[in-house]
Structure formats: C-alpha cells, structure tokens
Chains A and B, each alone.
Chain A
Amino acid sequence: DTAVSQTPKYLVTQMGNDKSIKCEQNLGHDTMYWYKQDSKKFLKIMFSYNNKELIINETVPNRFSPKSPDKAHLNLHINSLELGDSAVYFCASSNSRKNEQYFGPGTRLTVT
C-alpha cells in the first residue's frame, strides 16, 4: 500500500546512455513532481505536472523530459546522460499545488 513508489531504487549507467525512472502514486492526487537531490543533499524542483500542464524549472537541461501516461504516473526520461546527472531523484505528489507533497523513496542514479 505504498503511497508514492519509484523504480528502480538504484540505477548505474554509462555516460551517453538514455534511461527512465518510473513513478506511481495511489493517493488520487492530481499533481506530480520531480526533484533532484545533489551530493550535499540540496533538493531542487525539476518539474511539476497537473492536468496536462507541465511547469519546468528553467535550469533543467532539455535532456530531461517527464511523461505522464495517466494521472497516477509521471515518468522521468533522461537522454545522453552526463556525469553531473548523478544524484538522487525524488518523485512527489500532492492534492493540488498548494497542499503538502508526499515523496517517493528516491532513485539513486550513478553515471560512470
């Protein structure tokens, strides 16, 4: 009965590869997010998605693209991976943008 789940938990890949991280929420929320946590544990919003409206943090490279097949899922696709993409990526969801967000367990991405 996990509220927000992510797969995989760990992802190790080489530079230049394309990878995806999946996120699912069973809370009935209408808004989903992706955050990046760097090695110093600093968290930064990457995307928010609500009712087909995508809001992108201007600092996110266009190699990153979220895709939402339905309201319960927001997957993160990353093309041409770079060393600097190594981080922990968290998915989150909320019931409207103003309310508290619930986070998934994170995906640790390591690019070698």
Chain B
Amino acid sequence: GDSVTQMEGPVTLSEEAFLTINCTYTATGYPSLFWYVQYPGEGLQLLLKATKADDKGSNKGFEATYRKETTSFHLEKGSVQVSDSAVYFCALYSGGGADGLTFGKGTHLIIQP
C-alpha cells in the first residue's frame, strides 16, 4: 500500500536558519503530493502541493519539488522564523485504500529566537 516517510523530529533550528524536512513516498501510479502544517491547537492547513513530476509547489517562502526518480518531496525554506514553529505533514493522494490522503508521521519544528 501507499506510505509516506518523514524525518523524525523534533527539529530545532535558530531563527533565519535554512530548513529542510525530508519526505519520501511509496505509491502506485502517479500520486499528488502535499505538505500540510499544523499549528498548536489548530487543524491542518495546506501549505503547498505538486501534482506531477518536476512540479514545484511554493507558499510563504516554503518550497518542495516533486522528484519522481527519487520518490521524494522535501520541504525547504531559506530563512525560518519563530512563527514557523509547528508540525509539518507530508501527504500523498493516489486514489487507493479509503481514497483519502496518506500522511507521514509529522515533523515537529521548533524555531528558537
């Protein structure tokens, strides 16, 4: 079945540091890929998405490129802020199973001033 693997957290960085959160996937066919962010006590917000190979999703300074050859969708940001502290989820949709998103386990990001 489908699966998503994310780097374990928590990831602690200083403000203005460069961020990479790794995400790799296993899926049938050509899934759509997503990054969601969950701030403390809140629901999930869509951060960015990519629907086909080599697509780059971007939003709020975050970027991720759909790499079919390495089955990866790593999240990057050039300069993080304290307000970026949250849990980040990589997810895919392939139409299998219960036809919903398959999520990674989430990466807790902590940005220190």
- A residues apposed to B, CB below 8 Å: 4, 33, 35, 40-48, 55-58, 90, 92, 97-98, 100-106
Contact = CB atoms under 8 A, between A and B. Distances in A.
Given A41-B38, A97-B93, A104-B43, 12 more contacts: A33-B100, A35-B101, A41-B87, A41-B106, A45-B102, A48-B98, A55-B99, A57-B100, A100-B46, A100-B49, A101-B101, A103-B45
Q: Is the interface of A mostly helix, strand, loop or mixed?
A: strand
Given A98-B32, A103-B43, A45 B100 contact: yes
B46 to A, nearest CB: 5
A101 to B, nearest CB: 6
- Contact-residue bracket for chain B: 20 to 34
Interface of B: 32, 34, 36, 38, 42-46, 49, 87, 89, 93, 95, 97-103, 105-106
Given A98-B32, A100-B34, A105-B43, A56 B105 contact: no
